Structure formats: C-alpha cells, structure tokens
Structure 1
Amino acid sequence: MTAELTDPAVAGFVAAVNAGDKEAFFAALTDDATMSDDGTDRDLREWTEREIFSSNGRMDVEEVSTDGRTLTATYTNSTWGSMRTRWVFTVTGGRISRFETGQA
C-alpha cells in the first residue's frame, strides 16, 4: 500500500526514483542540494548513481508525516534488496535542497 504524498517536491522525487528518471530526479533538487545516508553526508551524484539509478532503486512509501516531508518507505534495489527506510526532506523554493535517509 502506498501512502499519499502531499508535498509536490517530495512526490516528484519519489516518482522520479520509481521511474528511474535521472532528469526528473535532478530537476526536483536545487542545484546545490545535499544528502546524507545513515547520518553521514555523501556525494549526492555518486550516491544516487550507485544506490538508485544503476541498481534499479524503488520506493514503496508506507507512511507520510503531516507536512509531507518525512517518509517511511520500503526501499528496494538490486544491491541491497529491500529494507525499511526513513527519508527526511528539506524543501526550498519548491525544490528539495537536502534529503536524509537511513534505515528505519
């Protein structure tokens, strides 16, 4: 069951991940966006290529916070299989300026 995404920037991010659409993914982010994985800042382009695009990453969103910017999702890719993850987004000017993810 997929929870309803209420923040347009976050919805665009999830849709781009699930479609494997790099162009839409990076369009959802600010030019200077940053990210962290399990509390460690990572190189966004390197991490997304490895963890999302070249490994067929997919998000099945289970829960959404009331502001629409914190998600719990089952994240699946061909490297790690499926795991329950938490995603926290900072949205600036309608685009994501930072996201933090890790195991939930």
Structure 2
Amino acid sequence: MSITRESSMDDEDFRNITETNFQRIRSKSAKIGYADGVSDGKEETFQKAFNKGYSDGLRTGFELEKYSAFSNNLKTYNDKLCSEQTFFIDLEKKTAADIKHTHLGY
C-alpha cells in the first residue's frame, strides 16, 4: 500500500506543480498581451493625432503665410496708393469722372 500512497502523492504534487506553473504562465501571458495591446493602441492613436496635427499645421501655416505676403504687398502698394490719392487731391477734382480729367478740361 505504501507504493500506491506514494504514487498518489506524487501524482498530486505533479498536478499542483503543473497547475502553479500553468497559472504563472497564464498570468505572464496576460500581462504581456495587455502591454502589447496598450503599446499598439498608443502607437495607432499617436499616428492618427500626428497625421491630423501635421495636416492642420500645414494648412494653417500656408494660410498665415498667404496673408502675411498679402499684407507685405499691401504695404508696398499703400505708399503708391497714398501718392496717387495725394495727386488726385492736389488736382482738386471732385470725382474721377470730372471734366477736368479729359483733354477738353485743360
């Protein structure tokens, strides 16, 4: 009987060790799977956010540069416009369609 009793104890010890190892492996696998899922989720979210931010930034930068160039050119033409306005005022014309604008008026 002692052989049977030892055999059943060995079987029980083997089951306990096997169950403990299985639980340890399962726990590690779950942790690794969770970490991989979090990493993949972050990477996908960051890539989408980067793509949107890059697109928005490019569009905004283009619009700002367009208005900046328009403003710079307006400053250049503003001097010319002011001189033309001064010239028009110096002629003492009421309107651009004034008869004095034609050769008949001089």
TM norm structure 2: 0.15
| Greater Cα radius of gyration, structure 1 or 2 | 2
The structure with more helix, counted as a fraction of residues? 2
Higher strand proportion (structure 1 or 2): 1
Higher relative contact order (CA 8 A, sep 6+): 1
Provide TM-score, normalisation by structure 1: 0.15
